[in-house]
Structure 1
Amino acid sequence: MRRRRKRLIIRFMVVMHIVGALTSIRAIMETRTSQGAIAWAVSLNTFPYLAVPAYWVLGQSKFDGYDLLRESYVDSNDVVKKLLQHLEQNDMLVTPETRRDRSHAKLLENLAKLPFTRHNRVDLLEDGPKTFARIFQEISTAEEYILVQFFILRSDVLGNQLKDALIEKAQNGVDVYVLYDEVGSHDLDSSYIAELRSSSAKIVPFNTTQGERQRFRLNFRNHRKIVVVDGRVALVGGHNVGDEYLGTKALPWRDTHVAMEGPIVIGVQASFVEDWHWATGEIPKLNWIPNKPTGGNTVALCLPTGPADELETCTLFYLDAINSAEERLWIVSPYFVPDEQLMSALQLAALRGVDVRILIPENADQQLVYLSSFSYLEEAEKAGIKIFRYKEGFLHQKVMLVDNRSVAIGTANFDNRSMRLNFEITMVFIDEKFARKVESMLEKDFALSRQVPVTDYTDRSLMFRFSVRLARLLAPVQ
């Protein structure tokens, strides 16, 4: 009996090492970064019993089977041809004046597969109460359809308020589409979904694991937060649907959203349709003719990014923004875990005299991310990068200000997950007036923060510094 058990164990070990070796070949061929490829290859061949299942769940970085409708459906469809014609005829497309601006615009448009548009009106929404007041206001005016997409959708007080507003509209004949991430919204009550469906509203999970080949694909997330009403107004930003996003006296919540009107809304709508098509195989009938709001003069671009992109779109966007900064680069993110190329770009910007500031929370909600952030202090201090920690509650906004006229606000964090594993959406605005509003907002945030000295890391215990370095090694999966 013992001999038989021993033989079975030996056979199992041999099989697992063979599987580990074969899987490591795939990891080397498909992993997007050299650091990740080396880490997976070593672990798969050394500890295949744990590494093989971990790789099939966490190691994949390419999201197969997702249709970029901006390339297929959109480019070949008469509706979109009419849309582009409408944009051109109504002076909604942008032609930059300088060669540098033309080159920069072309790069971003190629990444987004969407054009820069003018005549947009943009409102900056600081924190939860203002954001959700605007969301509910816009939902109340809906006449044709409402598109709702969140990473986290809770069946709490705020979530039920949203549900009731959507049900009321659905019962009045408005088409309602709700899309949520099944991991982020894992505790969403089934009764919540049933109530929406009983009102004729459509609600589905994004479902990253659909299909025979994708059943173990658990490491991807749809992190987008979108509301679109009638193709007329779109809201995008950092807020999810949960009571905590409104903030409390005990734990204030610092976040930022934007409300947009104008041709930029069509880009946000296209992003939602791509995700809806993946989740359901359907393309809803929507309004694709953009409006031209009174007083709208902001140039804007919608940049959806994700693991289905042929290139690492989010990473390239940030690299371009960092490299193009001349005077100022302020980045705000709850999670700051850049890879080597992004950190080097930040150092180069600081060394050429750019005011580089990074604002992160004093207390992160994820321990690995919190520890990893300390590992960048020495690199930052050597180049003149200033890192600040926000002290008044939890900081969750995702905002970037470049020089005096370029702003990015959206859902992407400054970490590997947002760069390579999450479906994200970032709104890019070129407008000096709007940039001044963002500057004023961020100056208030910096006033409620403290600059982090390098001694916060160097003067800590050996065990803490070892934990920090260990957490940094796990950056690719954070």
Structure 2
Amino acid sequence: MDYHSPYFFGYLIGLVHLLGVVAALHAVASVRTAQGAIAWALSLLFIPYLTLIPYLVFGSRTFDAYIKARRQANREMHLAITDLNWRPWVEEALAARNSSSYAALRALPKLGRMPCLANNKVRLLIDGKATFSAILGAIAQARNTVLVQFFIIHDDELGRRLQTLLLEKAAEGVKIYVLYDSVGSHALPSAYCQTLREGGVEVRAFSTRRGWFNRFQVNFRNHRKIVVVDGLQGFVGGHNVGDEYLGSNPRLSPWRDTHVQVSGPVLACLQESFAEDWFWAARQLPPLILPDEYPDDGVLCQVLASGPADPQETCSLFFIEAIHSARERLWITSPYFIPDEAIFAALRLAVMRGVDVRILLPSRPDHRIVYAASSLFAFEAVRAGVRIFRYQPGFLHQKVVLVDDEVSAIGSANLDNRSFRLNFEIMLLTVDRAFADQVEAMLKQDFDHAREITAEDSRDTHRLQLLGMRIARLISPIL
């Protein structure tokens, strides 16, 4: 074939346009939002040369292969728990419905696949030193099984401290399971994992590229942070494993983040979430541990695990339900603020109801395009009556929601489209006045170190900056 022939280029152009038509039809049939479907379809039809490859990488919105793996994992988990004392979990789930504050979140029992459970103990862990002191201390006391899952694991001082401790516990006969995201931990050297494997630690990467249709897919990422020790102590929140989370990055230091330590029946749900992800990566289940006895009292907790394999947009709907349930106060902290129309409308309605709506964002960018898009949404929110603050001392990475006097949620989900629809996320919802008071005190201190954005800030922003923000917002659905 003459590759310099005009006929060859004609056939090539025709093939690209044909593939563009096929991809456009796929986008119309599969992309969840009308805006996204229109944007992809039109660009694939008219400029397929520029958009075919990005669509292969970013276009998919449902993770069908994971859905099939989840079904198989659930069947195997059902068999695995038949010999365990599961009855207390069911009994506590029924008891949880007596809470008036939880009843205000009327959609949560159906939205979450996991029940709200009573008789849990929770401890607020503020910043990296407290978080990793508690996590490493709990692992050091492990006697049976340790489950570790992070979006990012670095081969730095903190990462090697974790590695050394896991190797020590594995040498003692403790079963160790480590799961990390292949995109988030792309810089993790293979030698780090190989050292763990040689020491008896089970290590897997959560990758979405399994199968031909997922070959180019990097859109879905497992953003969860979970640690469970012996089925007795659990940890969930915003920290990853890296020295920057302890404040070692001068550009972002001090790093502001929050984790929660939890014990009680709700640990069964943390283990279930980890088991589903581990099954996808390893095609086998880790041990499931449920104590025979539970505390006689404690707080209500519900694990909300969300992701692109859910039948609905669980994370986005959670935020909408939390906003709609607020009667007096709604405080949210997030490193990124890229809401969709439904959440933006819910925030405006909350302001109209007289709710004290505050959102705390970082003042320093870790991703400049995301920061630019967030800034434009922040200006629009201020004009709608939402109070927006920027945390001044360092980079703010915590993901916290505080509703009225009793309800709080802490975990890995950001207030952006990636968390709403693309990432696997996990949040721990807590219904307890005393714990909410602790969260309130923590956030008040954060607000004391923040500067409130005003309408004048928007007017004083240079037109070129505003143009950059608007361009950044155009690609916000894949940020």
TM-score using structure 1 length: 0.95
Whole-angstrom distance in 2 between the partners of 1:20 and 1:300: 47
Q: Could you tell me which residue of structure 1 aligns to residue 275 of structure 2?
A: 273
Matched, 1:72 2:74: yes
Q: 1:61 to 1:146 in 2, by over 3 A?
A: same
Tell me the CA shift for residue 100 of structure 1. 8.3
Q: Could you tell me which residue of structure 2 aligns to residue 7 of structure 1?
A: 7
Mind listing any 5+ residue stretches in structure 1 that lack a counterpart? none
- Structure 1 residues 30-429: aligned runs within 5 Å: 30-66=30-66, 67-68=69-70, 72-73=74-75, 76-77=78-79, 79=81, 83-88=85-90, 91=92, 93-97=94-98, 101-102=102-103, 104=105, 107-248=107-248, 250=250, 251-289=253-291, 291-293=293-295, 296-429=297-430
What is the count of residue pairs matched by the alignment?
475
Per-residue CA deviation, residues 143-197 of structure 1 (Å, 9 max, x unaligned), is 1110000000011000000000000000110000000001111111211111100
Tell me the CA shift for residue 95 of structure 1. 4.0
Contact 1:75 1:81 survives alignment (8 Å)? no
Matched, 1:464 2:462: no
Tell me the CA shift for residue 96 of structure 1. 2.6
Tell me the CA shift for residue 21 of structure 1. 1.2
Whole-angstrom distance in 2 between the partners of 1:180 and 1:65: 19
Tell me the CA shift for residue 307 of structure 1. 0.3
SS at match of 1:395: coil
Percent identity reads 45
Q: 1:406 to 1:18 in 2, by over 3 A?
A: same
- Aligned residue type for 1:153: I
Q: 1:164 to 1:377 in 2, by over 3 A?
A: closer
- Aligned residue type for 2:395: F
Tell me the CA shift for residue 75 of structure 1. 7.8
SS at match of 1:376: helix
SS at match of 2:304: strand
Q: Which moved more, 1:239-248 or 1:371-380?
A: 371-380
- Aligned residue type for 1:139: I
Contact 1:351 1:383 survives alignment (8 Å)? no
- Aligned residue type for 1:472: R
Q: 1:7 to 1:86 in 2, by over 3 A?
A: same
Tell me the CA shift for residue 76 of structure 1. 4.3
Contact 1:238 1:398 survives alignment (8 Å)? yes
- Aligned residue type for 1:165: L
Whole-angstrom distance in 1 between the partners of 2:121 and 2:20: 54
Q: 1:170 to 1:93 in 2, by over 3 A?
A: farther
Contact 2:391 2:449 survives alignment (8 Å)? yes
Contact 1:129 1:246 survives alignment (8 Å)? yes
SS at match of 1:96: helix
- Aligned residue type for 2:263: E
SS at match of 1:68: helix
Tell me the CA shift for residue 459 of structure 1. 2.3
Contact 1:148 1:227 survives alignment (8 Å)? yes
Whole-angstrom distance in 2 between the partners of 1:97 and 1:288: 24
Tell me the CA shift for residue 260 of structure 1. 0.3
Tell me the CA shift for residue 2 of structure 1. 9.7
Whole-angstrom distance in 2 between the partners of 1:26 and 1:92: 41
Contact 2:101 2:407 survives alignment (8 Å)? no
Whole-angstrom distance in 1 between the partners of 2:80 and 2:183: 36
Tell me the CA shift for residue 382 of structure 1. 3.2
Whole-angstrom distance in 1 between the partners of 2:286 and 2:149: 14
